[in-house]
């Protein structure tokens, strides 16, 4: 049975809206994991509730933590987390969540017993070999090189060299649990540049906020000292990457969208939207109400290396498909291993609507061409679905397949989109 089609609303007037985003997926899943590894009970406030974060909570529970949520609201929940001894015997469903499949196995290696992992059909195609080999090198018994696989600890930690050019999550995953290994961990990266650097800075910053000693002073080497992860209360920032389609709506329709609670300083890669959207023709300002993006209705093409902010590629590509000059996106070869092969998917869907896009070795070239309506396939990828919604604002007759797939990180996407547009149609 094919997934239902969602008629993407076309904006007939400029959008003027304030859009509050729930918590960051990346921060939520790090905070939940660190809370579950901590030296006492803690609280994670304003945590995202979505498929990826609920899978993380389920995984932590299966490994022995007590997880209780309260204050459920559209902006998130508060999780009371009581760590327990990490237990084997669990079967963990990672869904399609990179943060669950790469962050939880090192924690599972603290258990004296087998933990098995599996996920969605496409999750079995996502790269895992690098982190599984690293766990093996550190002393865990690992069966398999991709999902499904099993991990059996315990491991004592120590030094390991890996190539994290395929995903920053290989490195983040090891670092997040490392303080709990008897010898801590020293990880060396050897290979082409690591993508999504802000996510590594996020890992290091959050480890320090939980009292862990991390030395990242030498390029491509990270040393985590063994020691306690300190229990605390932690409040999650709004998800700035999920702000991307909403801020894009201001650009495409010549309106303005304000996102409240935009942090003054953050390690989230979505903060770089301020520069990227400016480069594409928006004006961006911090106001007392939040970050405001105002557009003219015209979008300029962009030449951008998105290696550091790879997860923004689908939205930037959607804007580029509506732009009045050519775009070239580079530095993102590794997103072929994201929720789907995003380079192939973006080319297929943009060209399927009459556009003119092609893949390069490490990115995309997109040239202006009038688009027409049609089905925009989402490949179970939340950011493909929201990219289709952005194009649909300007192109009548776009139907996005399986809009519910946005539940991976933003279950309320369709109603938030409708609310945003209510004043505009
Ligand atoms: O650590 C994280 O929370 C993430 C790291 C990045 O992964 P890659 O390094 O594989 O791009 C990013 O794209 C993903 O959405 C979230
Ligand atoms: C790449 C992404 O997710 P994941 O955490 O599953 O890797 C993403 O959200 O764009």
pLDDT band at 1 (very low <50, low <70, confident <90, very high): low
Q: How far is CA 73 from CA 20, 47, 59, 314, in A?
A: 12, 10, 22, 28
Instruction: Give me the catalytic one of 72, 303, 311, 359.
Output: 311
Q: 173, 199, 224 — which closes off a domain?
A: 224
Of 25, 26, 32, the residue with max ligand 1 atoms within 8 A of its CB, to mutate for a pocket test, comes to 26
Cα Rg of the chain (Å, integer) = 21
- Could you tell me the residue range of the domain that residue 103 belongs to? 25-224
Closest CA to 271 of 239, 319, 231: 239
- Is 57 domain-assigned? yes
Would 56 be classed as within a structural domain?
yes
CA of 104 to the centre of ligand 1 (A): 14
Residues 139 and 212 in one domain: yes
Question: Is 231 domain-assigned?
Answer: no
Locus of tokens 């082409």: 192
| CA within 13 Å, CB half, 8 | 29
Segment 202-239, tens digit of pLDDT: 999 999 999 999 999 999 999 999 999 999 999 999 99
% of the chain beyond a pLDDT of 70: 99
Number of domains composing the chain:
2
Q: Taking residues 1-15, what's their average pLDDT?
A: 90
**Do 31 and 12 share a domain, yes or no?**
no
pLDDT at 72: 86
215 and 295 within one domain: no
Residues enclosing ligand 2, CB less than 6 A? 97-99, 311, 338-339, 383, 409
296 and 398 belong to one structural domain:
yes
Ligand 1 atom closest to 338 (CA):
10
348: Cα separation from own chain's centroid: 22
**Ligand 2 centroid to residue 382 C-alpha, Å:** 9
* 164 and 301 housed in the same domain: no
In the prediction, which pLDDT does 424 show?
53
Regarding whether 256 and 197 lie in a shared domain, the answer is no
Binned at pLDDT 50, 70 and 90, residue 299 comes out as: very high
**Helix and strand element counts for the chain (H, E):** 12, 23
Residue at 357 is within a domain: yes
Ligand 1 midpoint to CA 234 (Å): 21
Reduce the DSSP state of residue 301 to 3 states and report it.
Answer: coil
User: Are residues 219 and 270 both part of a single domain?
Assistant: no
User: Which of 200, 224, 248 is the C-terminal boundary of a domain?
Assistant: 224
Percent share of the chain, pLDDT over 90: 96
Is there a contact between 316 and 323 (Cβ–Cβ < 8 Å)? no
Q: Is 388 annotated as a binding residue?
A: no
Query: 425 labelled as ligand-binding?
Result: no
The last residue of a domain, from among 161, 196, 224: 224
- Identify the DSSP state of 13: S
Identify whether 159 is part of a domain. Answer: yes
Residue with the nearest Cα to atom 4 of ligand 2? 98
**Whether the complex's predicted ipTM surpasses the cut of 0.90:** yes
The pick from 103, 196, 311, 408 for probing ligand 2's pocket by mutation, whose C-beta has the most ligand atoms within 8 angstroms, reads: 311
From 98, 195, 196, 245, mutation site for ligand 2 pocket: most ligand atoms within 8 A of C-beta: 98
Q: Is 199 in the pocket of ligand 1 (CB under 6 A)?
A: yes
Q: What is the pLDDT of the chain when averaged over all its residues?
A: 97
To the question of whether residue 290 is assigned a binding role by annotation, the answer is no
- For residue 50 and ligand 1, the question of a CB distance below 6 A is answered with no
Answer yes or no: 311 catalytic.
Answer: yes
If asked whether residues 220 and 242 sit together in one domain, one would say no
> Tokens at residue 227, please?
């020691």
Q: What is the pLDDT of residues 43-98, one digit of tens each?
A: 999 999 999 999 999 999 999 999 999 988 878 899 999 999 999 999 999 999 99
Check whether residue 10 and residue 96 sit in a common domain: no
- Which residue's CA lies nearest to atom 3 of ligand 2? 98
Distance CA 29, CA 63 (A): 15
CATH of the domain at 50: 3.65.10.10
Q: For residue 229, is it within any domain?
A: no
- Residue 249 and residue 349 share a domain: yes
Do 9 and 74 reside in the same domain of the chain?
no
Cβ-proximal residues to 177 (8 Å cutoff; 6+ apart), any chain: 33, 37, 103, 106, 107, 109, 110
Given a cut of 50, is residue 407 above it in pLDDT?
A: yes
- N-terminal to C-terminal alpha carbon distance within the chain: 33
Q: Are the beta carbons of 134 and 162 closer than 8 angstroms?
A: yes
Assigned domain for 307 exists:
yes
From the list 295, 192, 173, 301, the residue with the least C-alpha distance to 246 is: 295
Does the residue 380 lie in any domain? yes
Indicate whether 163 and 312 sit together in one domain: no
- Which pLDDT does position 71 carry in this prediction? 87
pLDDT at 425: 41
pLDDT tens-digit readout, 104-139: 999 999 998 999 999 999 999 999 999 999 999 999
């Amino acid at each position: 049975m094919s997934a239902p089609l969602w008629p993407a609303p076309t904006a007939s007037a400029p959008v003027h809206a304030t859009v509050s985003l729930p918590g960051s997926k990346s921060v939520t899943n790090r905070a939940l994991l660190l809370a579950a590894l901590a030296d006492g009970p803690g609280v994670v406030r304003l945590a995202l509730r979505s498929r990826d974060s609920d899978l993380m909570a389920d995984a932590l529970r299966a490994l022995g933590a007590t997880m209780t949520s309260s204050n459920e609201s559209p902006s998130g929940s508060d999780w009371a987390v009581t760590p327990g001894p990490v237990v084997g015997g669990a079967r963990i469903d990672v869904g399609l969540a990179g943060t669950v499949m790469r962050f939880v196995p090192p924690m599972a290696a603290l258990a004296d017993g087998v933990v098995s992992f599996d996920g969605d059909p496409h999750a079995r195609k996502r790269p895992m070999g690098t982190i599984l080999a690293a766990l093996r090198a550190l002393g865990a018994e690992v069966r398999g090189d991709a999902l499904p696989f099993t991990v059996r600890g315990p491991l004592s930690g120590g030094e390991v060299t890996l190539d994290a050019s395929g995903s920053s999550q290989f490195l983040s995953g090891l670092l997040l649990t490392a303080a709990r290994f008897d010898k801590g961990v020293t990880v060396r990266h050897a290979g082409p540049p690591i993508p999504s650097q802000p996510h590594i800075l996020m890992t290091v910053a959050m480890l320090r906020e939980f009292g862990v000693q991390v030395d990242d002073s030498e390029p491509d080497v990270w040393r985590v000292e063994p020691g306690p992860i300190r229990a605390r209360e932690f409040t999650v920032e709004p998800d700035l990457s999920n702000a991307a389609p909403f801020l894009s709506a201001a650009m495409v329709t010549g309106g303005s969208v304000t996102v409240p609670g935009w942090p003054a300083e953050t390690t989230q890669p979505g903060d770089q939207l301020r520069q990227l959207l400016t480069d594409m023709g928006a004006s961006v300002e911090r106001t007392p109400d939040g970050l405001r993006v105002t557009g003219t209705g015209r979008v300029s093409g962009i030449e951008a290396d998105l290696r550091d902010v790879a997860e923004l590629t689908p939205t930037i590509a959607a804007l580029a498909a509506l732009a009045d000059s050519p775009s070239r996106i580079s530095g993102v070869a590794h997103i072929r291993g994201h929720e789907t092969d995003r380079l192939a998917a973006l080319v297929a869907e943009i060209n399927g609507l009459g556009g003119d896009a092609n893949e390069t070795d490490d990115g995309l070239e997109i040239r202006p061409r009038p688009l027409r309506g049609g089905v925009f396939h989402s490949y179970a990828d939340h950011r493909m679905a929201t990219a289709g919604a952005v194009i649909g604002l300007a192109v009548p007759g776009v139907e996005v397949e399986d809009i519910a797939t946005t539940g991976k990180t933003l279950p309320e996407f369709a109603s938030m989109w409708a609310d945003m547009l209510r004043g505009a149609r």
